[in-house]
A and B are shown apart, each in its own frame.
Chain A
């Protein structure tokens, strides 16, 4: 990706982010009622999209060949156990990433 393409990609992200934040005020600012399907999607999409993003992050993993996704499994396990015991985001992200980076160097 060239620098111009990167800048355009970022501007698209900026424009679409503003769109999601401003749309309710633009559409329903005059006291009109919000369609139920919009409320429903606004409520359920965040859950679905996070699930999708996990798959997106792991899209390049090849579980059928060596090392059979072992570094990823170790990283995910460390992240999950750290988060579930400490209930804090940052130690979990940091611990999981370090575990993954270490596993990558030891196993592969």
Chain B
């Protein structure tokens, strides 16, 4: 590596690092919580690293622990991932204009477009002077993923160590997944947007659970949610636009 190239990489990291501190403080503990949960199901640090490198999607990885402890079901795994991550479509659409480039870092930036990285891109539309914008975003994404991988591996190591202690009984630790989703739900609810959609999700899932039982309800619930949302589209779009004072379905 030439010294000028190394100097420019160092300058990029120096610019990106301060911007990522808020993500550092949320990814490391949340990643650790994921790692502990994964280890409590018998999947150690190697699995945590594998998942956090290859998938890199917070709430999906928590739901993924549930998939790994259920019977093998690739169709449910695919559908659940697509639906939990459907919001990423929106981030991609929002970044379309800004990312018209064909830079070599683009595939990674798209791969690593998490909620947190996206929010940093929105918060920092312009990098500090002298830093190339796409390189700035690339390093933000890469640093964020490093925090996430480090947190989950540390959590898995701690979780595995706790398990080998005979006095440690992990029963109930998987409630952290439920608690996390409840917090996200409450956060969205307080925001005031999407309440009807939230109720559609809760209601469809409950109905399908009662109708089909716990092994089969998930796919039925996902189909029902898309169907009901499509049916209610005129009403929900209208309510959204009234609340926002503009049409966001345009």
Where the two chains meet, the residues of A that have a C-beta atom closer than 8 Å to any C-beta of B are 1-2, 5-14, 16-25, 28-29, 34, 36-60, 71-72, 75-76, 79-80, 83-84, 89-90, 92-94, 96-97, 100-101, 104-105
Contact (Cβ within 8 A) B175 A45:
no
Query: What 8 pairs between A and B have smallest CB-CB spacing?
Result: A51-B201, A48-B201, A24-B92, A47-B194, A55-B205, A16-B81, A51-B202, A96-B179
Residue of B nearest to A71 (CB): B172
Taken together as a complex, chains A and B put the C-alpha atoms of A59 and B195 apart, in Å, by: 22
In the complex, how many residue pairs between chain A and chain B have their CB atoms under 8 Å apart? 261
Known contacts A22-B111, A40-B237, A83-B183; 8 further A-B pairs (Cβ under 8 A): A6-B47, A13-B55, A22-B110, A25-B99, A79-B178, A84-B186, A93-B33, A93-B179
Residue of B nearest to A44 (CB): B197
Residue of A nearest to B182 (CB): A79
Q: Which residues of A contact B206 (CB under 8 A)?
A: 55
Taken together as a complex, chains A and B put the C-alpha atoms of A101 and B181 apart, in Å, by: 17
Q: Which residues of B contact A105 (CB under 8 A)?
A: 171
Contact (Cβ within 8 A) B93 A42:
yes
Taken together as a complex, chains A and B put the C-alpha atoms of A12 and B54 apart, in Å, by: 10
Residue of A nearest to B218 (CB): A56
Q: Which residues of A contact B88 (CB under 8 A)?
A: 17, 20-21
B184 at interface, CB cutoff 8 A? yes
Identify 17 residue pairs between A and B in the complex whose beta-carbon atoms are under 8 Å apart, listed by A's number. A5-B72, A7-B50, A16-B77, A21-B85, A21-B91, A41-B229, A42-B86, A43-B240, A44-B194, A51-B185, A52-B221, A56-B205, A56-B218, A79-B178, A89-B26, A97-B173, A104-B172
Taken together as a complex, chains A and B put the C-alpha atoms of A45 and B182 apart, in Å, by: 16
Distance to closest chain B CB from A20 (angstroms): 4
Q: How many chain B residues touch A (Cβ–Cβ < 8 Å)?
A: 94
Taken together as a complex, chains A and B put the C-alpha atoms of A37 and B182 apart, in Å, by: 27
B residues 196-246 near A (Cβ < 8 Å) are 197-206, 209, 214, 217-218, 221-222, 225-226, 229-230, 233, 236-237, 240
Contact (Cβ within 8 A) B177 A57:
yes
Stretch of B2-10, B56-64, B119-127, B152-160 on the interface side: B56-64
Residue of B nearest to A47 (CB): B194
B11 at interface, CB cutoff 8 A? no
Q: Which residues of A contact B240 (CB under 8 A)?
A: 43
Residue of A nearest to B43 (CB): A6
Contact (Cβ within 8 A) B172 A45:
no
Q: Which residues of B contact A39 (CB under 8 A)?
A: 90, 93, 249
Q: Which residues of B contact A72 (CB under 8 A)?
A: 175, 178
Contact (Cβ within 8 A) B55 A10:
yes
Taken together as a complex, chains A and B put the C-alpha atoms of A79 and B184 apart, in Å, by: 11
